[in-house]
Homo-oligomer: A and B are copies of this chain.
Amino acid sequence: MKVKNIAEFLEEKFIGDGETEILRVASLETANTGEISFIEKSELNEAAQNTHADCLIVPENFSGELPCSFIKVTNPKLSFAKVAEKLHAPNERVGVHKTAVVASTAKIRADVFIGAFVTIGEHSSVAEGSQIYDGVKIGDNVTIGKRSIVRPNCVIYENVSIGSDVVLHAGVVIGADGFGYVRDAEKYVKFPQIGTVVIEDEVEIGANSCIDRGALGETRVGKGTKIDNLVQIAHNVQIGRRVVIASQTGISGSTVIEADCVIGGQVGMGDHARVKSGAIIGSQAGVLPGKIVRAGVWWGTPVQPLDEYKRQNAHVKGLERLKEEVKILKKQIAALMDKT
């Protein structure tokens, strides 16, 4: 893309040479010929002034000069991300590798990519433009939408539904049995884990994360939700739209996370909890079973509002002083009692 095409794509004007060819995005520090980067602050900093980039995306109130072309936008990081999506579109692979084992009843669109050593079960379907990488195992009755990308060695159990524009990173497991048993006198009997999983459109799930199938109903991940690596989503969990869940967090059975929540890393949630829309939960926090977490910022185990957490933490830090004060009071009282 030329600088002028990028400006046009962003619906903004450019300053400088519109004909310069841009091939790649890069960080401000390393950007060079043919590369575009961005700055987030309007002050002209040294790195920007000395950039070797051929184009920079800058805040709209930027007023300095630059050694390269530049484009003013409202949110430089967002515009940079959109340009990157354009310049670095994933490889469009097409074709079914000769080693893939696709059931005769599976419906595979002509323009999909099915890699080596993939297996696709009976009555499963892969819609147009999707890419199923090497070693992925897809069970029976699985549907995969359009333009979705399933990276190597993912496993999708039977009867699972994956939407369009979904990305599953390597090693993701969707639809394994939920963890539910009933204790008998001598052993644990498995509670039926025969429900399903629905992954809605535009969801991205990080490497080696696990989304269990519902026990009787469904486990659902809402449209546009982004899940990091090594995350555990238990049976019957309902996650709304545009939720962000960082690495190694675990959500227990039947818990509901409403739309537009942000959940940090290594958070643990008990079962049947409800996180209301707009809640932000800090890393390593713990949500007790059945707890309702309102909008706002939450921290600690068990979670409390960040302000309360900080105040309480300050009190704990102040304990040494408090003990000293009490010691002094004891002496003063002893002295007073002696006198009277």
Taking beta carbons and an 8 Å cutoff, which residues of A are in contact with B? 24-27, 30, 75, 77-78, 80-82, 84-85, 88, 97, 99, 101, 115-117, 119, 133-135, 137, 151-153, 155, 157, 167, 169-171, 173, 176-177, 179, 181-184, 187-192, 194, 202, 204, 206-208, 210, 212, 216-217, 224, 226, 228-230, 232, 234, 242, 244, 246-248, 250, 252, 265-266, 268, 270, 283-284, 286, 301, 311-312, 315-320, 322-323, 325-326, 329-330, 332-333, 336-337, 339-340
Q: Assess A88 versus B194: contact at CB under 8 Å? Given A322-B323, A333-B333.
A: yes
A270 engages B247 (CB within 8 Å): no
Known A169-B173, A176-B170; contact A77-B229, beta-carbon cutoff 8 A: no
Using Cβ atoms and an 8 Å threshold, which residues of chain B touch A224?
187-188
Contacts of A77 in B (CB 8 A): 182, 191
Chain B residues within 8 Å of A325, by CB:
326, 330
- Once A155-B152, A208-B208 are accepted as A-B contacts, the answer to whether A326 and B322 lie under 8 Å apart by CB is yes
A246–B253 Cα distance when bound, in Å, is: 11
Q: How far is the CA of A230 from the CA of B173 in the complex (A)?
A: 11
Please judge, given known A-B contacts A30-B217, A133-B137, A153-B155, whether A194 and B311 are in contact too, CB under 8 Å: no
- Which residue of chain B is the closest to A29 with respect to CB atoms? B217
Complex CA–CA separation, A183 to B248 (angstroms): 22
Q: A189 touches which one: B81, B116, B134, B151 (CB < 8 A)?
A: B81
Query: In the complex, A21 Cα to B15 Cα: how many Å?
Result: 76
The 7 closest A-B pairs by CB, nearest first: A84-B192, A155-B170, A137-B152, A315-B319, A173-B207, A27-B216, A176-B207
In the complex, what's the smallest C-beta–C-beta distance from A250 to chain B, in angstroms? 5
Contact call B315/A323, Cβ cutoff below 8 A:
yes
Closest to A117 in B: B117
